[in-house]
Every structure is written in C-alpha cells, then in structure tokens.
Chains A and B, each alone.
Chain A
Amino acid sequence: GIQVEQSPPDLILQEGANSTLRCNFSDSVNNLQWFHQNPWGQLINLFYIPSGTKQNGRLSATTVATERYSLLYISSSQTTDSGVYFCAVPKDGGSQGNLIFGKGTKLSVKP
C-alpha cells in the first residue's frame, strides 16, 4: 500500500520564526490533506491540496504531485501553532475517503 513519510519528526521554533514541513508519498494520489492536532487532541483540517499551492493566513501548502511530495509552510510562528501536523492521502484510490496518515511532525513554538 501507499506509504506516507513526514519530516522532520520534531521541530522546535522560537516565536516569529518560519518553518517548512515536508510530506513524501510513495504513489500517485488524487488528494492530499494537511491536519493540525492541538495539544488537547483536536484535529483540524488545514488544507485539501491535491496539487498546486493554497494559502490561509500565515499557513500555505504546496503539493507537487508529479514528484510525490507536499510542503506546509508556517510563517511568523506563534505559540498557538504548537501541536502535531499530519499529512494524509487516500488509500487505494480514495473513492471511500479512507485516509492513510503520516506519523506527523511535532512542532513546539517557544515564546
């Protein structure tokens, strides 16, 4: 089955710094999602981004489907950005919407 790898596994930033999180996937996909899980466990869907670039405030994401990777950019990080960031892709073509998650990047933003 498709493999999803995220890097780095852990990241510590000073407030105000920028960062780039990477997601590699082993097979072609028609969908890719980025999620943020806050320290209390709540998962929030950040982006649906099968290809191209999207921006939402200080966050943006780029997926290069032909090269099988996606990047999540966080600019001017804030302490509230702390948590775990996951990327996820559909399993087996994805018609049912089943997702395979990467293991995540744990981000800690220090004041």
Chain B
Amino acid sequence: SQTIHQWPATLVQPVGSPLSLECTVEGTSNPNLYWYRQAAGRGLQLLFYSVGIGQISSEVPQNLSASRPQDRQFILSSKKLLLSDSGFYLCAWRTGTITNYGYTFGSGTRLTVV
C-alpha cells in the first residue's frame, strides 16, 4: 500500500541549532514530493518541491534547505534555526495521473524554536 511517513511529530529546538526533518514514502516510485509550512493562522506555504533524486526547487528564499538523496526520501534541513522557523511542517506526495491527481500529506512536524 502507499503510505507517507514523517518524523519527528514534535520538536523543540534552540535558536542557532541545526534541523533535520525526514519524510519517506512507500508503495510508489519517482514521486513528486513537497515540503509545506503552516504558520499559526492557518495558511500553507510551499517551501520546496522535488520531481526526482537530487532535483530540488525552492519556492521561497529562506533559512532552510531540502535534499532528496533517495527516490522516496525527502529531507528538510537548516544549519542554524531562527525563531521565525517555528511552525508546522508538512511533507506531501502527489498521487494519481498527470490529469487526475491528488495529494497525500504526512502527519506533520510541529517545530518550536526557542
């Protein structure tokens, strides 16, 4: 079956510390993968997307980076966290065909930078 895993669920990190959030999918190959952030107040903002191994596109310039070392693995990183990096981070995977598709989201990581 097709599933998406995201961890950790909750994270509290001090300002200036590094970050690594991992997302993996199962039951598919060569998926389109996405990282979104949801700040308090509901809106979801696309941060990065990837259409294949080593292919990363950034939507918003910021303190974060993403990598895709394997086909079904997508990692969100930071070398030094800022207070403004706090938020709810969601990994997503596009499913279906090019003309009839949907999205499956991971359960999210709630990051608090203190």
Contact = CB atoms under 8 A, between A and B. Distances in A.
A98 B88 contact: no
Contacts, number: 60
A43 B57 contact: no
A43 B101 CA distance: 16
Q: SS class of chain B's interface: helix, strand, loop or mixed?
A: strand
A106 B43 CA distance: 11
A97 B32 contact: yes
A42 B44 contact: no
Contact of A48 (B44, B96, B108): B96
Interface of B: 32, 34, 38, 41-46, 49, 51, 57, 59, 88, 90, 92, 94, 96, 100-105, 107-108, 110
8 contacts: A42-B105, A43-B90, A44-B105, A97-B32, A99-B103, A101-B43, A101-B44, A104-B42
Interface of A: 31, 33, 35, 41-45, 48, 84, 86, 88, 91, 96-104, 106
